[in-house]
Amino acid sequence: MTEPAFEGLQGADGSRRFEGLRAMFVNCTLKRSPETSNTQGLIDRSVALMEREGVTVDQIRAVDHDIATGVYPDMTEHGWPSDEWPQLFERILAAHILVVAGPIWLGDNSSVTKKVVERLYGCSSLLNEHGQYAYYGRAGGCLITGNEDGVKHCAMNVLYSLQHLGYVIPPQADAGWIGEAGPGPSYLDPGSGGPENDFTNRNTTFMTYNLMHTAALLVQAGGFPVGGNQRSLWDAGCHPSFENPEHR
């Protein structure tokens, strides 16, 4: 697995500072296209900021694709008749930034979010050219929407999952919007106040810029530093800081 290329920061005046970075947003709404997705409304805010800074953005609405259930890279090798995940995974791996976005249902992440995280996990044993896990050298964040409580709980689950797989999580790597307690309007509904909410807009902006800063730093450093974190060397018997009893 090779790292995606990046030419470096551009613009001495601070404009389009992240030209060459690539980002992937995975929308885990339960609504198939072209049905309106409130999560997409919040994604659009972050995407606009990235594109203004020169980032190339790709997007996947997961529910529109035939993604099999399971924790292997290609589930057609495990009894499923079809699986689009291998193709989607290549697009995800081509990005310096991954943002997993989704709604809250029953106070938790959507079933689609959970499936996407499971499939990301299924590819986590793959290695890059340094013998590290494949997601090393990339930045991860999340966006959460809903009309019930649970933003921080859902974000906590997604961000833990991403860092466990190898993504670097910058400060303030999540943002979200929920309405008043109890049933009420969703983010894009007229009069919801969602698109105008200062707290959400601030956190979305901070998340977006911190993701771009972190991704740029990682690329300029040549990925996540090699040393004490290479699965290939560990499997070959090189265990840093651990004595080998056979040599005693």
pLDDT tens, position by position, 15-30 = 578 999 999 999 999 9
Residue among 189, 159, 208 nearest 36 (CA): 189
CATH superfamily of 22-223: Flavodoxin domain (3.40.50.360)
Q: Is the dihedral of CA 157, 39, 219, 125 positive or negative?
A: positive
Residue among 116, 122, 84 nearest 100 (CA): 116
In this structure, what are the phi and psi dihedrals at residue 172, rounded to the nearest 5 degrees? 50, 55
pLDDT for the residue numbered 183 = 75
Q: Report the C-alpha gap between 198 and 206 in whole angstroms.
A: 12
State how beta strands 56-61 and 139-146 pair. Answer: unpaired
- List pLDDT tens digits, range 21-73: 999 999 999 999 999 999 999 999 999 999 999 999 999 999 999 999 999 99
Residue among 160, 248, 143 nearest 205 (CA): 143
**What one-letter code names the amino acid at 182?**
G
- What are the residue ranges spanned by the domains of the chain? 22-223
8 A C-beta contact, residue 25 and residue 102: no
8 A C-beta contact, residue 2 and residue 128: yes
CB atoms within 10 A of CB 160: 12
Distance of CA 62 to the CA centre of its chain: 13
Q: Which pTM does this prediction carry?
A: 0.91
Task: Split the chain (248 residues) into runs of 10 and give each run's mean pLDDT.
Answer: 56 68 98 97 98 97 98 97 98 98 95 98 94 96 92 97 98 93 85 94 98 96 92 88 59
